Amino acid sequence: MYLQHLTLRDYRNYQSVDTDFSPQINVLIGANAQGKTNLLESVYALALARSHRTNNDRDLIRFGSEFARVDGTVVRSTGPVKLGLVVSKQGKRARINGRDAPRLSQYLGKLNVILFAPEDLNLVKGSPALRRRFIDMEFGQMSAKYLYNLAQYKVTLKQRNAYLKQLKYGQARDTVYLDVLTEQLAQFGAAVAVARAELLANMGQFAGVIHHDITRGGEELQLRYETQIDDQALQSEEATTKDLLAQYQQARSRELDQGTTLVGPHRDDIEFIVNDRNVAVYGSQGQQRTAALAVKLAEIDLMKQETGEYPVLLLDDVLSELDDSRQTHLLKAIQDKVQTFLTTTSLDGIAREIIQAPNVLRVQAGTLEAAGND
């Protein structure tokens, strides 16, 4: 798939944009604070109906305007799809081919994107919450079922935590309702955990091959799913549900004492193992960055395997953070494979011999114009 056309109205610092893109590599060049990242964000928002930079949708609206609008034409193997997102101070509305999408799960997946920014190089050594958010955002694009179960899990978890606090402070006494919430949480949690285990295993296979190539066979990468759930139980949702229920029973007194849920996928993590050692603990910064790069590139092939379409790749000033070897591997991996949007302040230092005939667009003060292949 690729984004053929994009229209912006009053989005961030853009008053109006109406432009076509190459299905290959599009280079957005300009000084800092001109709007390059804003443009990438608009593509991300068109795909996921939310920003990756803010939780407040109003931030997307240009100062002094009532609403922001993003429209795009996505070309898929099955034909073109028109997507639209309108954000106002009253809320937001997502549309598919001119019709409102009643549920987010119906909208997501029409345009799949992978965002790679400098902070993603900290994926390995960052917090578990960062890694959980990473897998949830990516897997949610690949599977509407995963997205649904994750959303239900989060809602039920919030309800259960609230009720545990009521029980802790004597504001409630009925433990039957706690049992009902526990059963629901275990079922949704099992669906999330089993899907994570399967998708992470597939991602690990792709990442291992890529990592082997980047390191020229010198290192082997494995992804390990860190969860409280027994490995054998993860083979089925039914077994995982039973395992979680047993753990909730064991943790019941501690959960009542602390007023919060101590077991479940909201506490899971990923370990990056290089040559049998946890690279987050024992690896160098270079090894950590190589592992992160391999995982981000693995997303491309995993998304193709799961959805049947290659995603759109958004590279937000990430090349400047990579050395020549990793930069070259990244560019070779995406050439003639996925539509790519790449932001940079200068084409100097980029391995341009690898990028064949890029579509270069110059960004200045919220305006976009063709710069040619110079």
Q: Which residues are annotated as a binding site?
A: 30-37
What's the gap between Cα 179 and its chain centre?
Answer: 33
Which amino acid, 15?
A: Q
Q: How far is CA 104 from CA 11, 13, 50, 147, 351, in A?
A: 21, 26, 11, 9, 39
Burial class (CB in 10 A: 0-12, 13-18, 19+), 234: buried
Number of H helices, E strands in the chain: 10, 15
Residues 22, 24: Cα–Cα separation, whole Å: 5
E-assigned strand segments in the chain: 2-11, 14-20, 25-29, 67-76, 79-88, 91-96, 99-100, 113-116, 221-226, 269-274, 277-278, 312-316, 340-344, 359-364, 367-370
Residues 144, 105: Cα–Cα separation, whole Å: 6
DSSP secondary structure of 197-235 = HHHHHHHHHHHHHHHHHHTTTS--EEEEEE-SS-TTGGG
46 neighbors 9 (Cβ within 8 angstroms):
no
**Binding site, annotated residues for ATP:** 30-37
178 neighbors 196 (Cβ within 8 angstroms):
no
